[in-house]
Amino acid sequence: MQSRTIRIIGLDPGLRRTGWGVVDSDGVRLIYVASGVITPATGDDLAYRLRELFEGICGVVASFKPREAAVEETFVNDNPRSTLKLGQARGTVLLAPAMSGLTIAEYTPNLIKKSVVGSGHADKTQIQAMVKFLLPRATFNSADEADALAIAITHANHRASAAVLAAHEKKVARL
């Protein structure tokens, strides 16, 4: 009999700190596997920081072997340079699991907060408290890790509807 458990990696992109969190989901239960933060050296040139980010995520994917990835969508910052750099980091974060052939879903910050806390305007402490409640064995040391776990939880809760929507879009595209 084949297991229904799916391993999901949640990724919270950032150029200074990218949080990652891995959970197993059987459709009913969520089980914490691991979490951490990739912190590229701030003194390096942008290209080398992006490479360090890419290699770090590839290493996590190779170690924990998730089948699906979920990434937070970028919000637009007031500072165009910061937004551009975040976009480059996010592109790197999307590329790493894609290179491993993972299915990738993207979620808005408001949907993540609403899915985990129940309010689209929840703050970091509320997210951390709910992640700890939903994943009692989780040990995380930063908001970046908690956010990544919240992204993975969101995907576990929305993956079936995302798959149906993707199949529908492919069908419509063929018509």
Which sequence positions are flagged as catalytic?
12, 72, 144
Strands (E), the chain: 6-12, 18-25, 30-38, 68-72, 103-107
Round to whole Å and give the CA distance between 105 and 125. Answer: 25
Contact (Cβ atoms closer than 8 angstroms) between residue 12 and residue 147: yes
Contact (Cβ atoms closer than 8 angstroms) between residue 93 and residue 57: yes
Max Cα distance, the chain (Å): 53
